[in-house]
Chain A
Amino acid sequence: MISKNTSENPVGVVGAGSFGTVIANLLAVNQPVILYARREAVREAIVKEKVHRGQQMHPRVAVTGDLAELAERCTLIWPVVPSKNFRAMMRDLSPHLRPYHVLIHCTKGLDVLLTDREKERFHDIKLNPNRVRTMSQVIAEESVVLRVGCMSGPNLAKEIARGLPAGTVIASHFNEVINLGRQALRSDRFMVFENHDLIGVELGGVLKNILALGSGMVSGMGMGENARALMITRGWRELMRIAGWFGSDKNAFMGLAGIGDMIATCSSPLSRNYTVGRRLAEGETLAHIIETMEEVAEGVNTVRTAMAVVRFMEKRAPMVEAFYSVLFEDVPLEEAIHKLLVHRHGPDVDFM
C-alpha cells in the first residue's frame, strides 16, 4: 500500500553513530526523519554544524533527545545502536511503544544476559546458544512490538555517505515490515532485497565480523591473498556450522547479507572489524585499539560470545578458537595463525 501521506509521516532513527547518521540521511530523501541522539552535546553539534561524523546532514533530519516524542510521531523506527547498549536503549524506548509500531534494526551484534559471576569468569564459561539473543529477539523480549525486521548487507557507512551505489537486505517474518522498509528507503542508488529468514540474516551479519577480524590479521601480517582466501572460505564453513547451533538455516548465508557482506568487510579498510585485525597484526594491543577507535567493533565481542558457545557445544571451531586466543589470551598472532593454517585437511564443500 503506497499512499501519498506515507511520505509526510516521519520515520524515527535511534542512535546517531556513523551508521545511524547514514540511515537517517538515506531515509530523509523520501520522508522527514526524527533522529534520536542520547547526548546533548551531539544534538547541539548536529543542529549547529549541520555536519555529523563527517556527513552533511539532510535538511529533513530533525534531532531529538526525547524517545517519547519519537515514538509518538513515528510508526516506523530504525534502531541503530551498538549491541552492548541495545537492550538498555530498548528498555528506555519500550514504555513508549505500542503494538502498531514497526522496528527495523541495523545492529550486527549479539546480546547475552549474564550473571555477575559469569561476567567475571567469561573466559571459561560455557554458554548455551539458547541464551544468546539477536537484536530482533531483544526487541521482542523488551517490548510489545512484534512487527520487527532487520536491515543487513554490505553497507559500509562511508561509501553510502558518499552516495555510492549499494544493496541491502531487509529481513522479517512480516511482508508488511519488508514493504514499509523498502518504501522508506526507495532510491535509485540503494537496492533493497527481501528475506523471510530473520534470524539467518541477523546471524550472517553478526558472525561475518569474526572473519573480518581474521582477514585483517592475515592482511596485516602480509601473508598474502592466498592465505586470506583460504582463511575466509574455511572460516565461512565454520560460521555456518555455528549458525546451525542457534537453529538458523543456511540459506541466508548465501545471500547479500551473508556472502555479500563478508566480501565487503573482509577486504575493506573501511570496515572497523577488519581494521582491528590489521592493527593487531601491526603490533598494537587490543586495549589500545579499542581505546583509540571512535566506534565499537562488534566483532571483538562476537568472538567472545561465539567462543563461550563453542565451549558449551563441546565441538571444535578452529577459527573462533584461534582469534579468541589472540584477542583474549595474549597468544602471539603468528602462533595462532600458523596453527590454523597448517596440518589441516578435510572435505572442501560439505555444507550445501
Chain B
Amino acid sequence: MAAKKSKDKDTVEYPRVIPDEHDWPIYKISSRREQLIEEVIAETMEHYTQQGGEGERNFTRIADAYYQERVRMKDNPWKVDRRDEPAFWRRIKLALQRSAEGGTVDEKAVEKILHQVVDRYTNEIAGDFRIRTYRFARWATNFGFTRLFNAIRLRPFRRKKGEKRMKLTEKMQLTGYTEEIRALSKKGVVILVPTHFSNLDSIVIGWAIEALGLPAFTYGAGINLFGHPILSYFMARLGAFRLDRRKKNEIYLTNLKLYTEIVLRKGGHMLFFPGGTRSRSGSIETKLKLGLLGTAIEAQRKLILEDPENYRRIYVVPLVMSYNTTLEATALINQFLKKEGKERYILVKDDFRSTRKTIKYIFNFLRSRSSMVFSFGKPMDLFGNEVNGEGISLDKQGRVIDLADYYQSNGEIVRDSQRSYAYTRLLGERILASYYRENIVFSSHLVAFTAFQFLLQTQQKDLYGLLTVAEEDLVMPYDDFAASVERLHLRLREMELQGKVRLGEDMRHSIPNIVRHGIEYLGTYHLKKPLTFDKAGNVITEDLRVLYFYHNRLNGYDLEKYL
C-alpha cells in the first residue's frame, strides 16, 4: 500500500504497514515477555559456557560485578533503584564466599550464582509493549498536539488571512526514502539511527515512526527516566528497554548485548542514537558510539546460521532531523565550550531545563510557521551495501550479495569478534557519511553559518578570541553579509546537485528572502536572538555563543573556503 496525497497539498499520509497492533513484531515479542526473558537468560549462560565457563572465571566475573555494584550503590544511588538491591548483592556475596570455602571454587555453585545475577539483570532490562498504552500515547501526542496547536493558531489576533487549521503532519515533514523503509520494515528488521540534538528528539521520532505508518520501534531508555511516575508508566509499556549507564560490569554489558541481539533476531525494529548523547556543539555527529551496531552484526551472523537459505536481514536507516531551534542550545553550547576551551573560556551561568521553558518551546514551535523535517536516509545493510525493493543486498555491479560471505573464513561462517568490531567501525563511517548527505539545510542554518564565519574573518580572531568580543561591537553591514550568504548558497546548490547535501524549501527563494527568512526563523525560542537586524538594517547578534551553536550545524562541508 503506497502513500497517498491527502487533500492538503504537500502532505502525504501513510497508511499503516501492518494495520493491527497485535501483528506488530514488538507486540509479538513482548506479549511473551516471560519467554523472551527465559531465552535471554539461557543464551547468556550459554555464552559464558562457550567463553570458557570454568568456575574460576565466573567467580571473578561475579566478584567484579559485586564490587562495582557496591561502589555504585554507595556513591551513586538513584531514586529508581530497587529497594532490595543491597540485600540481593549481600546474598550474592555470601553465596560467593561459600562457593570457595574449601579452597577451590565449586563450579556448580558459582554457575548458580551467576544465573541469579543474569536473571536479575535480564528482568531489569527487558521492555514491554501494551497496545492500550500505545494507543493512548498516540492519541495524546498526535491528536493532543494538534488540538493544542490549532487552539494557539486560531486565536483571532494571530490568524492571518486565508489560514486554515493545520495538521501536525504539515509541521513535521517526512522526506527521503520513506517508501523504501516502509517496504523493508515488512521484509526484515529496521534499525533507525537518528542524529541527536535535543531531548525532544525521542518524542518526535516516536511520532515520526507512527506517522510513517511503521509499527512501534523498541529503544533503550536511560533507567533514570523510569523514576518519573508518568513517564515510567508510558516508557515501560511502549517497548522501551532499560539502560543503566552506571553499570559497566561485564555481566551487565553482556546481558544488555544479548537482550538487544535476541530482540533483533526476533524481528523487533529498533531505534538507537549512535551519537550517544545530544550533540553539545550543535554540529552533526563526527564520532559514533558503536555498541548496539556491533550487536546487530552478531545478530545477523546468527540469523544466517539459523536459516542459511532464507535468513532475515537487518537494515540500517540513518535519519537526520532539521529544525530552526534547539531548546537546549544555550546549555549545550556552554557545556561544549567549557569542555573544549578549558581555561580560555569563562563560563557564563545559564538557566535551562525547566518545565515552563519546555512548554514555552513547544508552544513557540507550534505557533510559528517553522517546521521540522525528518530526512530518512537510504537504507543499507550492515555492510553499507544498497538493498533492492525485495530487501536483498546488491553490490556495485548489481549482483546479489550473500551476506554469509562477510562472515566466512576458509569457507566457514565463524565468530570473530575483532572482525565484527572492524565491520562495526566501517558501518559507523557509512552512517556518518549518510548524515552529511541527508542533512537538510534551512535558510536559518545558512545565515547562522555565514554570520559566524563572517565575524571570524572580519575580526581576524580565532574562536575563543571572538567569543570574548562584546556582541555590541559585532555589526555586519547588510550588503556584505548578503553577498557572503549568496556565495555560500551558490556552493550549497552545487553540492546539492552532486548529492552531497539537501536543501530545504526555504532555500529556493531569492537571496534577500533567504536572509530575511533565515534570520527570522533562527532560534525563534531564545530570548536573546542569535541574529537580528538593527535599526539601520545591519545584521547583528545578541548571543554569540548560541549563534556559534547553530553555525556548527554546517561544519564538515568545508564551506568556510567559499566565503
Question: Chain A 150-187 against B: per-residue CB contact (8 Å), 1 yes, 0 no?
Answer: 00000000000000000000000111100000000000
Whole-angstrom distance between the Cβ of B351 and the nearest chain A Cβ: 38
Selected interface stretch from A34-42, A94-102, A262-270? A94-102
Assembly CA distance A175 to B416 (angstroms):
10
B347 within 8 A of A: no
| Cβ B396 vs Cβ A144 within 8 A | yes
- Give A99's nearest chain B residue, CB to CB: B405
| Cβ B408 vs Cβ A100 within 8 A | yes
| Cβ B418 vs Cβ A175 within 8 A | yes
Whole-angstrom distance between the Cβ of A171 and the nearest chain B Cβ: 12
Assembly CA distance A173 to B429 (angstroms):
13
| Cβ B396 vs Cβ A176 within 8 A | no
Residues on A with C-beta less than 8 A from B426 are: 140, 146, 173
- Give A314's nearest chain B residue, CB to CB: B561
- Give B414's nearest chain A residue, CB to CB: A1
Whole-angstrom distance between the Cβ of B331 and the nearest chain A Cβ: 30
B104 within 8 A of A: no
Residues on A with C-beta less than 8 A from B399 are: 95
| Cβ B406 vs Cβ A146 within 8 A | yes
- Give A180's nearest chain B residue, CB to CB: B409
B383 within 8 A of A: yes
| Cβ A3 vs Cβ B410 within 8 A | yes
A128-B558, A146-B383 known; A98-B422 Cβ under 8 A: no
- Give A101's nearest chain B residue, CB to CB: B405
| Cβ B416 vs Cβ A176 within 8 A | yes
Assembly CA distance A141 to B406 (angstroms):
17
Contacting B405 at CB < 8 Å: which of A1, A98, A140?
A98
Give the contacts of B402-423 with A (CB-CB under 8 A). 402-403, 405-406, 408-411, 416, 418-419, 422-423
B453 within 8 A of A: no
Assembly CA distance A146 to B422 (angstroms):
9
Assembly CA distance A99 to B384 (angstroms):
12
Assembly CA distance A68 to B178 (angstroms):
38
Residue with the highest number of chain B CB atoms closer than 10 Å, among A3, A6, A143, A175: A175
| Cβ B383 vs Cβ A176 within 8 A | no
Give the contacts of A175-227 with B (CB-CB under 8 A). 175-176
Whole-angstrom distance between the Cβ of B363 and the nearest chain A Cβ: 42
A328 within 8 A of B: no
B425 within 8 A of A: yes
B510 within 8 A of A: no
Give the contacts of A113-136 with B (CB-CB under 8 A). 126, 128, 130
B81 within 8 A of A: no
Assembly CA distance A94 to B399 (angstroms):
11
| Cβ A144 vs Cβ B385 within 8 A | yes
| Cβ B397 vs Cβ A94 within 8 A | yes
Question: Chain B 199-243 against A: per-residue CB contact (8 Å), 1 yes, 0 no?
Answer: 000000000000000000000000000000000000000000000
A1-B409, A99-B401, A144-B395 known; A176-B423 Cβ under 8 A: no
Residues on A with C-beta less than 8 A from B561 are: 126, 128, 312
A142 within 8 A of B: yes
How many residues in A have their beta carbons less than 8 Å from beta carbons of B?
23
Contacting B406 at CB < 8 Å: which of A99, A142, A143, A312?
A99
Number of A-B contacts (CB under 8 A): 57
| Cβ B395 vs Cβ A1 within 8 A | no
Give the contacts of A64-111 with B (CB-CB under 8 A). 94-95, 98-100
Assembly CA distance A95 to B426 (angstroms):
22
- Give B426's nearest chain A residue, CB to CB: A146
Whole-angstrom distance between the Cβ of A291 and the nearest chain B Cβ: 36
Residues on B with C-beta less than 8 A from A176 are: 409, 416, 418-419
Contacting A100 at CB < 8 Å: which of B395, B396, B406?
B406
| Cβ A146 vs Cβ B418 within 8 A | no
Assembly CA distance A6 to B409 (angstroms):
11
| Cβ B396 vs Cβ A1 within 8 A | no
Assembly CA distance A328 to B409 (angstroms):
48
| Cβ A94 vs Cβ B409 within 8 A | no
Contacting A1 at CB < 8 Å: which of B410, B423, B558?
B410
Assembly CA distance A95 to B397 (angstroms):
6
Assembly CA distance A176 to B408 (angstroms):
11
Residues on A with C-beta less than 8 A from B396 are: 94, 142-144
Assembly CA distance A99 to B408 (angstroms):
9
| Cβ B416 vs Cβ A100 within 8 A | no
| Cβ B397 vs Cβ A173 within 8 A | no
Residues on B with C-beta less than 8 A from A6 are: 410
- Give A95's nearest chain B residue, CB to CB: B397
- Give A175's nearest chain B residue, CB to CB: B418
- Give B556's nearest chain A residue, CB to CB: A130
Whole-angstrom distance between the Cβ of B16 and the nearest chain A Cβ: 35
Whole-angstrom distance between the Cβ of A249 and the nearest chain B Cβ: 14
Assembly CA distance A1 to B411 (angstroms):
13
| Cβ B419 vs Cβ A100 within 8 A | no
| Cβ B405 vs Cβ A100 within 8 A | yes
Assembly CA distance A97 to B411 (angstroms):
15
Whole-angstrom distance between the Cβ of B329 and the nearest chain A Cβ: 28
Assembly CA distance A95 to B401 (angstroms):
12
Residues on A with C-beta less than 8 A from B405 are: 98-100
Whole-angstrom distance between the Cβ of A309 and the nearest chain B Cβ: 12
- Give B383's nearest chain A residue, CB to CB: A146
Question: Chain A 278-315 against B: per-residue CB contact (8 Å), 1 yes, 0 no?
Answer: 00000000000000000000000000000000001000
Contacting A174 at CB < 8 Å: which of B402, B418, B558?
B418
| Cβ A173 vs Cβ B401 within 8 A | no
Assembly CA distance A140 to B410 (angstroms):
21
| Cβ B410 vs Cβ A146 within 8 A | no
Whole-angstrom distance between the Cβ of A67 and the nearest chain B Cβ: 13
Whole-angstrom distance between the Cβ of A94 and the nearest chain B Cβ: 6
Residues on B with C-beta less than 8 A from A94 are: 395-397
Residues on A with C-beta less than 8 A from B410 are: 1, 3, 5-6
Whole-angstrom distance between the Cβ of B429 and the nearest chain A Cβ: 10
Assembly CA distance A100 to B402 (angstroms):
10
Assembly CA distance A130 to B419 (angstroms):
26
| Cβ A173 vs Cβ B395 within 8 A | no
Residues on A with C-beta less than 8 A from B409 are: 1, 176
Residues on A with C-beta less than 8 A from B395 are: 94, 143-144
Question: Given known contacts A144-B385, A173-B426, what 18 new A-B pairs fall within 8 Å (CB)?
Answer: A1-B410, A3-B410, A6-B410, A94-B395, A98-B401, A98-B402, A99-B383, A99-B401, A126-B561, A128-B561, A140-B426, A143-B395, A144-B383, A146-B426, A173-B425, A174-B419, A175-B416, A176-B409
A-B contact pairs, 13 of them (CB 8 A): A98-B405, A99-B383, A99-B403, A99-B405, A143-B396, A144-B385, A144-B396, A146-B383, A146-B423, A174-B418, A175-B416, A175-B419, A176-B418
Binding site for A on B (CB under 8 A): 383, 385, 395-397, 399, 401-403, 405-406, 408-411, 416, 418-419, 422-423, 425-426, 558, 561
* Closest 4 A/B residue pairs (Cβ): A99-B405, A144-B395, A173-B422, A100-B405
